[in-house]
Amino acid sequence: MMIYPAIDLINGQCVRLYKGQFESKTVYNSDPRDVAKSYYDAGAQWLHLVDLDGAKNPQHRQSQIIGDIVRGAGLKIQTGGGIRNRDDAVQLFDLGVARIIIGSLAVNNPELTASLFHEFGAEKICLALDVVPDDNGLFRVAVSGWQETSAQELTAVIDHYSHHGVQHLLCTDIARDGTMAGCNIALYQTLKRKFPMLNIMASGGVHTLDNLRELKQAGIDGAVIGKALYEGAFTLQEALSC
């Protein structure tokens, strides 16, 4: 299982949100470049980098910082936040990122998203479907930096992109994100059974090494870890070792 330490960026700073709420922001470090380098020094191979300013408004994308991290950290970078068109994707690839994360666009413009899979290749794109449960227990996909919940149901969206070769799926249970309340193991197990061909990354709620062991035992391919590292619940070295 691959460990993806996470950096969320707002105004050039490392932050974490609580359940995706921008008004519930905690700033952990003022220089994400140093944090990224520390993750490399600890043995990480990948960095999960989310531009929350870009997610709210693509015109506010933090390209300079993203480029600095790509060039200076020594890590492979998967990044997203505010990718609304082909030019946005090309800009990030030109910065040197290894993989882009497409979320809202996959719901709002499936035709364009499918064309990106075919143009750049499935290895270069991570489908990010961040979800909230509805009153019937179905998971609906959130969009626009988690500010809106669409009518699209999680597995239906995955089914659609299965026909376009999707390989990497990141799924965040927004109700768990930033809470350190544990992962939604049942959700990820269901996804792995239904879509065994996908490389599934879990995100939201990781706060113990046992959480990581449970994900690995469930056959999940990756785990994104943010707040637990900032809060010192465990070290990145411990996460990589377990």
Active-site residue set = 8, 130
- H/E stretch holding 27: strand 21-29
Report the interhelical angle of 209-217 vs 185-194 (nearest 10°).
20
Tell me the C-alpha distance between 147 and 150, whole Å.
10
Q: Return left, alpha or beta for 125; rule: phi > 0 is left, psi -120 to 50 is alpha, else beta.
A: beta
Backbone angles phi, psi at 101, to 5 degrees: -110, 120
Task: Provide the b/e sequence for 23-55 (b: ≥16 CB within 10 Å).
Answer: eebeebeeebbebbbebbebebebbbbbbbbbb
